[in-house]
Structure 1
Amino acid sequence: MNNFQYKVENNEKGIRIDKLLVDITEDYSRSQIKTWFDKKLVQVNDHVVKQNYKCQIGDVIKWDIPEVEPLEVKAENIPIDIVYEDSDLIVINKKSGMVVHPAAGHYEDTLVNALLYHCQDLSGINGVARPGIVHRIDKDTSGLLVVAKHDIAHEKLAEQLKNKKMRREYKALVHGDIPHEYGTIDAPIGRSVKNRQMMDVVENGKQAITHFEILERLHGKFTFIKCILDTGRTHQIRVHMKYIGFPIVGDPKYGQKKSIDVEGQALHAYKLTFTHPMTEKELTFEAGLPAKFEQVLDNIRKSY
């Protein structure tokens, strides 16, 4: 049995607890979560509650997830771009459009399925559906992520991520002409009040800090930027760039309705730096922009 805990934030007051759990667990459907209530596995402030309970600010929700593997995650012969590999870890350059790990309704064609075909030695800390996965990038974001081959490597890499010792740098194309060369966005991120399937800058969200630097201005209509994350909130760069009025090109969730087709969103995790969990040597990896991203940049340069 896996135990979890969550404290209700100000903007979540009045939301049904089963709906909130769908939002915060992400990988479980409402019908799956209903079984937790049927089995009395969900408590609020140490009291068992029903699924229609309305959450109050400061409520401490505790729930247990039975260790039942709903489906066997199968190995699939899917090509992946391996940037680096040794006996402890693998660094992957993920293509846009690929989901990182299986979840409800999506058990095939993920990076994990591909990794299981390539390598049987993956850490088990995150369970059968997420072997080796230390951190994620969105389905439609391309770029670098590190995967652990055993639990010791996983724990040490996760600790670096938690302590902000792992440096993740992105390149992005945004709508509009950002007026300054550098900037830092320090704005808390939480679930959107208007749409619980989206994130937003909210008063009582979790701290989120994004630094950006202008790489190229494109005719006053677009800006090519570099972003560095201090924190790793869900959809952080996408939410922050929308918040300051310069949404990511091609972003279906936070971008403009009329945009440019970049086969996903124009966001690429191009550089990753961390300390090797076993040798303690600092490693830095870079991955060039996907061909479609480069083509879009060239087309904009020539079109205006």
Structure 2
Amino acid sequence: MTSTHDAGQVRPAGERRTLPVPEGLDGMRLDQAVSRLLGLSRTTAAALVEAGDVLVDGAARPKSDRVTAGSWLEVVLPAPAAPPTVIAETVPGLRVIYADDDIVVVDKPVGVAAHPSPGWTGPTVIGGLAALGHTIATSGAAERQGVVHRLDVGTTGVMAVAKSERAYSLLKRAFKLREVEKRYHAVVQGHLDPLRGTVDAPIDRHPTHDYRWAVMASGKPSITHYDTLEAFPAASLLDVRLETGRTHQIRVHLSTLRHPCVGDLTYGADPTLATRLGLSRQWLHARELAFAHPGTGEPVRFVSDYPDDLAHALRILRD
């Protein structure tokens, strides 16, 4: 099956789907309706409409057109992308804190992803470990073998990776059962009231902004505990403990409290304050990780010091 586009170009196409517009989507924009019906991002849905891969009752329509219940949509889904592969490459700043036959624990620098993913061309923890000669467990998807938890690209700190299959299985189970202690330090705008508390609010993808998440009734349960360690005139240093591990959880929950992480422009932080502190990313650091060692069963705890950019910003706040 092929799909023809402008300038006589022909490209391989993926699966063709034909389905009616349900009553609940009546009057919705075409790109948004396609996104909702097929579980695609709004950006991907809009691109399909603009490429002519979406027909409404047999005709192409602009992405801003409103759909009518009962109309038939024909959508040619994009061909599946090739899975990303692990490339062994030296990652500056990636430091191994601890390693044995079961696990390797690293101090992840900023600008490094946990593992390869579609659209990411930068360095990864898994690629860096491969360059250092560490053999990782083969369990899990090919591009993220051995990864039992992740940190955002812009978040630094301690991260564990499984080397043995047994370690992968036990650590994945420990994270799922909330038997792993994950502590972060965050500098947020303003002062929280109360100074110590818990945010229990479900998180899901943001309904209109790709790459963002939000507190949504449709989301997965998400629980964040925080405690104020130090207060400054314009900000506070928090100790944050996670019960769950949703994408962007700390950033979303603190933003919902109207106290976003300093420097986190994605979630509403003040760019002027970020500039004054010399920050180009959120002040958020994975400070401690503690769990039962999958090989010995003994409790282990790993701690990561603040990287230079976060330490510099903290000094300015304290002056």
- Which TM-score tier does this pair reach, normalised by the shorter chain? 0.7 to 0.9
Q: How does 1:111-126 map to 2 (within 5 A)?
A: 111-126=125-140
**1:115 Cα deviation after fit:** 1.0
Do the aligned residues in 2 keep the contact of 1:251 with 1:266 (CA within 8 Å)?
yes
**1:23 Cα deviation after fit:** 4.5
- Distance change >3 Å, CA 51–CA 136, structure 1 → 2: farther
Q: How does 1:1-304 map to 2 (within 5 A)?
A: 15-16=33-34, 21-23=39-41, 51=75, 70=83, 72-79=85-92, 80-219=94-233, 221-258=234-271, 259-260=273-274, 261-302=278-319
**1:116 Cα deviation after fit:** 1.0
Identity among equivalent pairs (%): 32
Do the aligned residues in 1 keep the contact of 2:107 with 2:304 (CA within 8 Å)?
yes
Question: What are structure 1's unaligned runs of at least 5 residues?
Answer: 1-9, 25-29, 32-48, 54-64
Do the aligned residues in 1 keep the contact of 2:255 with 2:267 (CA within 8 Å)?
yes
**Higher Cα Rg, which structure:** 2
Please state whether the residue corresponding to 2:192 is helix, strand or coil. Answer: coil
- Distance change >3 Å, CA 117–CA 50, structure 1 → 2: farther
State the alpha-carbon separation in 1 of the partners of residues 82 and 205 from structure 2: 28
Do the aligned residues in 2 keep the contact of 1:216 with 1:223 (CA within 8 Å)?
yes
State the alpha-carbon separation in 1 of the partners of residues 270 and 98 from structure 2: 38
- Distance change >3 Å, CA 198–CA 70, structure 1 → 2: closer
**1:242 Cα deviation after fit:** 0.4
State the alpha-carbon separation in 1 of the partners of residues 260 and 184 from structure 2: 15
Runs of 4+ in structure 1 deviating by more than 3 angstroms, as ranges, are 17-24, 49-53, 68-72
- After alignment, is 181-190 or 192-201 more displaced? 192-201
Please state whether the residue corresponding to 2:144 is helix, strand or coil. Answer: coil
- Distance change >3 Å, CA 157–CA 51, structure 1 → 2: farther
State the alpha-carbon separation in 2 of the partners of residues 73 and 277 from structure 1: 25
- Distance change >3 Å, CA 84–CA 103, structure 1 → 2: same
**1:193 Cα deviation after fit:** 2.1
Please state whether the residue corresponding to 1:16 is helix, strand or coil. Answer: helix
Q: Deviations over 1:123-151 (max 9, x none)?
A: 11223211211110100000111000122
**1:275 Cα deviation after fit:** 0.7
Please state whether the residue corresponding to 2:154 is helix, strand or coil. Answer: coil
**1:257 Cα deviation after fit:** 4.3
- For normalisation by structure 2, the TM-score amounts to 0.74
What amino acid is the match of 1:16? V
- After alignment, is 255-264 or 291-300 more displaced? 255-264
- Distance change >3 Å, CA 149–CA 50, structure 1 → 2: farther
- Distance change >3 Å, CA 16–CA 156, structure 1 → 2: same
What amino acid is the match of 2:253? H
What amino acid is the match of 1:173? V
**1:72 Cα deviation after fit:** 4.1
- For normalisation by structure 1, the TM-score amounts to 0.77
In the other structure, the counterpart of 2:51 is: none
State the alpha-carbon separation in 1 of the partners of residues 85 and 250 from structure 2: 33
State the alpha-carbon separation in 2 of the partners of residues 109 and 50 from structure 1: 39
Please state whether the residue corresponding to 2:312 is helix, strand or coil. Answer: helix
What amino acid is the match of 2:171? L
- Distance change >3 Å, CA 294–CA 188, structure 1 → 2: same
Do the aligned residues in 1 keep the contact of 2:200 with 2:224 (CA within 8 Å)?
yes
